[in-house]
């Protein structure tokens, strides 16, 4: 093993070894030779040499400069060196929080790497490539490192973007170099893992019909990758390539997914409630968190958040606590951090009292409808503090991770969106342009329900957006649009009735918002309790959640159901609401496809 590692060292750093050896020889030899001379001659020789030193250096620089110009055509673009981190890592499986399912599959891969010799004897298929798919920030890199650590093999990490170059062949050369290095490591340590992040950057579908050769560079890079992966069948190379990507693997060139290449797949998804709790606990160790903070509640609030986002939230909350000159991070700080990340920093406007009051009624309208009539969402916060481009917000979170929405839920989204409009209308008789974002959301949901999901009362079934608009008859279009409008009208009538019945609650919340500016979940529930309206029970408290709920989305292969959860939490960017947007409801804007 020592000799193998020495060889690896020489292979990697032979140039440095040679330079050092040359320097030593060129210093030691003259000294040894001159020691036999007379004093005056020695001084003479040393003097001449020192005097000519600057000239020598200058000449060398000019020579090297010309060499570069000749070789690289004057451009410095290729000075960029591809970045490959290599070596031992020390991330254990226990350091990867959550991801139970992905860890289980990863463990199997660790075993496969360890039992290669046995596997070879038995004649089983040897693993060469593995794909990790999932949203960014969910711990793919960490899991890959953990596989390397647990299998006890070196870990080489690079990213797809490192192979993207303008010149044809440069990317391919990098791929070659990467695998050459990996083979050296594999020889020295018995096996090696290559981790390629952002695989989709190099692994996109190859383009063959490009008259100008515009894509031949990425094609040649991908081809080289395919060739290298096929070369891994050699007896001596125990190399496993782990590719990670954020997008769906459909964007990859099918050749990459063929047997012998990336034929294993691990989904690294967003953490569920229990996992989020563990992640909060893990990162909370690094900050001085007040012991009264209920991490379970935070985990519920952070539905669909990735581990990286949770870490970011806790770091931000520590900043807030420091700014407020407290030495402990409280629940309020964490809550404020979530809002700052999702909605932007507080940005106070000089509003007239009347405007503030209207905003308060608008938000109270959302709040009451959400709390009383939404089957799956909870209100976590209501505020009339201006942030980014919004004047106020009713912050809703899904009470559990749902992967589908039924018609009732979608109708509830519409009703909540219309709550602000109806409240303004009931209170003042006129409405403001602050409803534009709400309407756009409500319209989107209603349009999807009628045009795409067969949820209209008229019994129109099918996805009519699949058919080009000009192929739909005017009559049908009119029918669809009427159905959409009827859906919205119906929802509005319901909201009107509800808010009229609960007018006193609406009034109360508007006053509370004006007085306190922000209301937290507890405060909101307390007020509703005064009116005899307890909160809906949390699903995690009423029933024990299975760790891995069956995902119905799997049963529909592609393009079918829009897998809602990730997109649905995307906070609406503040600048999408031009001005006077009174609302940014981050949790239930549906994904449009
Ligand atoms: Zn609104």
Instruction: Compute, in angstroms, the gap from residue 574 CA to the centroid of ligand 1.
Output: 13
The pTM for the full model equals 0.62
What is d(CA 389, CA 379) in angstroms, rounded to the nearest whole number? 21
Q: Given this model, what pLDDT does residue 450 score? A: 94
Is the Cβ–Cβ distance between 567 and 418 less than 8 Å? no
**3-state SS track over 467-530:** CCHHHCCHHHHHHHHHHHHHHHHHHHHHHHHHHHHCHHHHHHHHHHHHHHCEEEHHHHHHHHHH
pLDDT tens for 304-329 read: 788 888 989 999 999 999 998 888 88
Q: Given this model, what pLDDT does residue 235 score? A: 58
Instruction: Compute, in angstroms, the gap from residue 64 CA to the centroid of ligand 1.
Output: 66
Instruction: Compute, in angstroms, the gap from residue 363 CA to the centroid of ligand 1.
Output: 6
pLDDT tens for 479-498 read: 999 999 999 999 999 999 99
Instruction: Compute, in angstroms, the gap from residue 487 CA to the centroid of ligand 1.
Output: 19
Residue 479 to residues 434, 456, 472, 483, 486: CA-CA distances in angstroms? 29, 11, 11, 6, 10
Specify the DSSP class assigned to residue 83: -
Beta bridge partners of 265: 131
Is the Cβ–Cβ distance between 98 and 269 less than 8 Å? no
| Catalytically active residues, by annotation | 363
Question: Which H or E run includes 132?
Answer: strand 129-133
CB atoms within 10 A of CB 337: 21
Give the closest residue to 445 by CA, choosing from 417, 486, 473, 476.
417
Instruction: Compute, in angstroms, the gap from residue 376 CA to the centroid of ligand 1.
Output: 19
Instruction: Compute, in angstroms, the gap from residue 381 CA to the centroid of ligand 1.
Output: 14
Instruction: Compute, in angstroms, the gap from residue 352 CA to the centroid of ligand 1.
Output: 18
Instruction: Compute, in angstroms, the gap from residue 443 CA to the centroid of ligand 1.
Output: 13
Collapsed DSSP state (helix, strand, coil) of residue 564:
coil
Give the closest residue to 371 by CA, choosing from 267, 523, 226, 259.
523
Instruction: Compute, in angstroms, the gap from residue 525 CA to the centroid of ligand 1.
Output: 20
Is the Cβ–Cβ distance between 126 and 235 less than 8 Å? no
Give the closest residue to 296 by CA, choosing from 535, 95, 541, 527.
541
Q: Which residues of 186-200 are buried (b: 16+ CB within 10 A; e: fewer)?
A: bbbbbbbbbbbbbbb
Q: Which residues of 84-111 are buried (b: 16+ CB within 10 A; e: fewer)?
A: bebeebebebeebbbbeebbebbeebbe
Collapsed DSSP state (helix, strand, coil) of residue 559:
coil
What is d(CA 296, CA 298) in angstroms, rounded to the nearest whole number? 5
Instruction: Compute, in angstroms, the gap from residue 305 CA to the centroid of ligand 1.
Output: 24
| Ranges of residues in the chain whose predicted pLDDT is under 70 | 70-88, 117, 120-121, 123-126, 166-168, 207-218, 233-237, 401, 537-593
Instruction: Compute, in angstroms, the gap from residue 474 CA to the centroid of ligand 1.
Output: 33
Q: Given this model, what pLDDT does residue 234 score? A: 60
């Amino acid at each position: 093993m020592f000799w193998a590692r020495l060889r690896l060292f020489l292979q990697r750093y032979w140039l440095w070894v040679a330079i050092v050896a040359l320097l030593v020889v060129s210093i030691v030899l003259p000294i040894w030779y001159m020691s036999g001379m007379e004093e005056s001659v020695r001084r003479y020789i040393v003097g001449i040499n020192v005097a000519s030193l600057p000239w020598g250096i200058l000449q060398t620089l000019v020579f090297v400069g010309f060499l570069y110009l000749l070789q690289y055509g004057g451009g410095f673009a290729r000075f960029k060196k591809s970045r490959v981190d290599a070596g031992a890592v020390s991330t254990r499986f226990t350091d990867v929080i959550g991801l139970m399912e992905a860890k289980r599959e990863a463990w199997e891969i660790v075993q496969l790497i360890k039992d290669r010799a046995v596997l070879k004897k038995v004649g089983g298929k040897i693993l060469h490539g593995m794909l990790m798919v999932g949203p960014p920030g969910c711990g793919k890199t960490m899991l890959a490192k953990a596989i390397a650590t647990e299998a006890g093999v070196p870990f080489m990490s690079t990213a797809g973007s490192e192979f993207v170059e303008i010149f044809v062949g440069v990317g391919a050369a990098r791929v070659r170099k990467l695998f050459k290095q990996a083979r050296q490591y594999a020889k020295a340590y018995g096996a090696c893992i290559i981790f390629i992040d952002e695989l989709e950057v190099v692994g996109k579908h190859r383009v063959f019909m490009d008259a100008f050769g515009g894509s031949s560079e990425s094609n040649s890079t991908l081809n080289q990758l395919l060739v290298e992966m096929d070369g891994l069948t050699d007896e001596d190379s125990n190399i496993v390539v782990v590719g990670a990507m954020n997008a769906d693997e459909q964007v990859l060139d099918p050749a990459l997914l063929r047997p012998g290449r990336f034929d294993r797949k691990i989904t690294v998804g967003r953490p569920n409630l229990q996992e989020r709790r563990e992640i909060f606990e893990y990162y909370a160790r690094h900050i001085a968190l007040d012991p009264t903070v209920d991490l379970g509640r935070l985990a519920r609030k952070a539905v669909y958040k990735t581990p990286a986002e949770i870490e970011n939230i806790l770091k931000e909350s520590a900043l807030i606590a420091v700014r407020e000159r407290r030495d402990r991070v409280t629940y309020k700080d964490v809550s404020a951090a979530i809002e700052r990340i999702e909605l932007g920093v507080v940005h106070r406007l000089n509003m007239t009292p009347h405007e503030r009051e209207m905003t308060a009624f608008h938000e109270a309208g959302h709040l009451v409808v959400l709390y009383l009539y939404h089957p799956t969402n909870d209100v976590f916060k209501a505020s009339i503090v201006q942030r980014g481009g919004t004047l106020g917000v009713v912050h809703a979170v899904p009470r559990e991770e749902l992967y589908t929405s039924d018609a009732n839920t979608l109708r509830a989204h519409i009703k909540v969106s219309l709550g602000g409009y109806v409240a303004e209308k009931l209170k003042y008789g006129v409405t403001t342009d602050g409803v534009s974002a709400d309407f756009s959301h409500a319209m989107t949901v209603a349009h999807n329900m009628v045009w795409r999901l067969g949820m209209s009362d008229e019994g129109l079934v099918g996805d009519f957006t699949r058919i080009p608009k000009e192929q739909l008859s005017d009559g049908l279009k009119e029918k669809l649009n009427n159905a959409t409008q009827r859906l919205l009208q119906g929802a509005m009538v319901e909201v009107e009735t509800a808010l009229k019945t609960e007018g006193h609650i609406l009034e109360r919340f508007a006053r509370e918002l004006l007085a306190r500016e922000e209301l937290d979940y507890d405060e909101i529930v307390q007020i509703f309790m005064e009116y005899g309206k307890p909160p809906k029970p949390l699903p995690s408290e009423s029933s024990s959640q299975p760790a891995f709920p069956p995902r119905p989305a799997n049963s529909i292969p592609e393009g079918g159901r829009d897998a809602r959860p990730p997109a649905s939490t995307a906070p609406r960017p503040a600048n999408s609401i031009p001005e006077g947007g009174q609302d940014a409801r981050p949790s239930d804007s549906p994904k449009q496809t």
